[in-house]
Chains A and B, each alone.
Chain A
Amino acid sequence: MRAFSLKSINLDGYLTNKVFVFSIAILPFLRLFYLAHNNKLTAHPIEYLEHSTGFWTLTILLVLLFLTPIRQLFKLNKQIRLRRMLGLFVFFYAFLHVATYLWLDYDFNYDEIAKDVIKHPRILVGFIAFVLLLPLAATSNNASIKRLGADWVKLHKLVYLVAILAVTHFWMLVKRDVSEPMVFAIVLFLLLAVRVYFKFLAKLARPS
């Protein structure tokens, strides 16, 4: 009997295939459509949309932050080409998240929204995270990469701050059971720790 092998289904090939990854990443969005259409968005559909889009923003953001450590730890490179697409998906879900809040939840009532942002730290934190995401999404095209050069790399380091703010935003929302944001926080911590570790190694390797 032949042993089942990951190689036989070319997992590596699928996971780095843009069409395949796109189809996966769009599923949460299609699912919301399906649920909305079948009236299954729970008793509090707006809250459900907010939570779901927030959850997927964070999840894809963390998946995105896995790409570089995979290269560093396993010397694999192919997944790096998914970076832009996943980054734009993060923005896409974050945009849906914010749009649900501004439009469905608050009906573009800017007085109420301003009050909410100022009075509730978690909203302020999430708001800052989203604002910081805007320049990243705007400069995700090739032209910007070329134009900004080394500055582009510096600018896009903001993604780490966005991730920290986003996890904090989630944590602050939860009334009591922080187990879910805790998982995100631990994963994020590990992802950042790996980077610090490799930076440290690089420093050691550099001749002084």
Chain B
Amino acid sequence: MNPENDIAPSDITPREVFESRRDFIKKAGVGLIASTALLLNCPISAATPKNTNLPSRKLKAISTAYGRGEKLTSYEDVTSYNNFYEFGSDKSEPVINAKLFKTQPWTLTVEGEVRKNKTIAIEDILKLAPLEERIYRMRCVEGWSMVIPWVGLPLSELIKWAEPTGNAKYVEFISLEDKQQMPGQNIPLIDWPYTEGLRMDEAMNPLTILAVGLYGEVLPNQNGAPLRLVVPWKYGFKGAKSIVSVRFTEKQPVSSWMKISPKEYGFYANVNPNVEHPRWSQSTERRIGSGLFSSRIKTQMFNGYADQVGHMYSGVDLKRNF
């Protein structure tokens, strides 16, 4: 048995995480239970050299009900129109500049308010939980949106593994800083490395995932390989890319965009058509790939995920906490 799976459920793990997991196991049926058991029982330390080889591009993932029926944004568009300033400030640059980016080997450290600072390799993160396909809408603060079939695992699985202490109220995500590999970091547009943050309950929300792939394949470099955050009810910039460190904190962290322009970017950055941005319309958005003569569509509160996340913000003034 893998000792990491013997941890008693701590107070930090909310009920809905267990419930949702029970839920999807129920839904997925016998075959899934078998494979889940297999994965969970697979001892992390027993990784043979064979297993540490470069993974094939294809990823095995359980399909889920998330986003079923949504029209997907084309692979071409998802992988050629990227805000990833580490590889250039123009959205057409990352696909070119990230080509040679090395994502192997990759380790993630967990630090701050945790029982013990730990490091985990990307291959072992993939074993924390069965990979799932999640089709999510992504709304960029710039007024455009996509529908992306991510492959990933709930962030809550990593958090459980990290064993945060009772003081952990927030989670900060730190992206890689490597000027050699990331030409965009030679320009001080951002106080590198890029950082983002979530409140603990947001991080534990079943919708929040760590993505390792899209369209059933390993994450393309320009999309934040090998590991990125996806928080579908928040503006896209919350999704930190190429994460190397997860830090648990007691105080609310200050994200990169908050540092750059606190009037424009708040900590929450929930998709909200009622809170205007000084540059872009937030009441409507343009769906990428909808064609030259299509109309804008109405932006939905919490990007349409209000049922799953609205309860976390009851009593919060979203106009002030934008």
Q: Which residues of A contact B (CB under 8 A)?
A: 36, 41-47, 104-107, 109, 112, 115-116, 119-122, 172-173, 175-177
In the assembled complex, how far is the CB of residue B189 from the closest CB belonging to chain A, in whole angstroms?
A: 5
Q: Are A44 and B296 in contact (CB under 8 A)?
A: no
- Expressed in whole angstroms, the Cα–Cα distance for A41 and B286 within the complex equals 15
Within 8 Å by CB of A112, from B90, B142, B281, lies B281
Q: Are A176 and B279 in contact (CB under 8 A)?
A: no
Interface residues as binary, B292-322 with A (CB distance below 8 Å gives 1, 0 otherwise):
1101100000000000000000000000000
Q: Which residues of B contact A (CB under 8 A)?
A: 73, 76-77, 80-81, 85, 89-92, 142, 144, 187, 189-190, 260, 276, 278-281, 283-284, 286, 288-289, 291-293, 295-296
In the assembled complex, how far is the CB of residue B278 from the closest CB belonging to chain A, in whole angstroms?
A: 7
- Expressed in whole angstroms, the Cα–Cα distance for A199 and B296 within the complex equals 49
Q: Are A45 and B189 in contact (CB under 8 A)?
A: no
In the assembled complex, how far is the CB of residue B136 from the closest CB belonging to chain A, in whole angstroms?
A: 17
Contacts of A112 in B (CB 8 A): 281, 283-284, 296
Contacts of B91 in A (CB 8 A): 42-44
Contacts of B260 in A (CB 8 A): 176
Contacts of A122 in B (CB 8 A): 279
Q: Are B187 and A177 in contact (CB under 8 A)?
A: yes
Q: Are A43 and B283 in contact (CB under 8 A)?
A: no
A-B contact list, 27 entries, CB within 8 Å = A36-B292, A42-B80, A42-B92, A43-B73, A43-B76, A43-B77, A43-B91, A44-B81, A44-B144, A44-B286, A46-B286, A47-B144, A47-B286, A104-B292, A104-B293, A106-B296, A107-B295, A107-B296, A109-B296, A112-B283, A112-B296, A119-B276, A119-B281, A120-B276, A120-B278, A120-B281, A177-B89
Kindly list 8 other residue pairs between chains A and B, CB separation below 8 angstroms, not including A44-B144, A119-B281, A177-B89. Answer: A42-B92, A44-B81, A112-B296, A119-B276, A120-B276, A120-B280, A120-B281, A176-B85
Q: Are A175 and B283 in contact (CB under 8 A)?
A: no
Q: Are A105 and B296 in contact (CB under 8 A)?
A: yes
Contacts of B289 in A (CB 8 A): 43
Contacts of A45 in B (CB 8 A): 291-292
Q: Are B288 and A115 in contact (CB under 8 A)?
A: no
Contacts of B89 in A (CB 8 A): 176-177
Which residue from chain B places its CB closest to the CB of A104 in the assembled complex? B292
Contacts of A36 in B (CB 8 A): 292
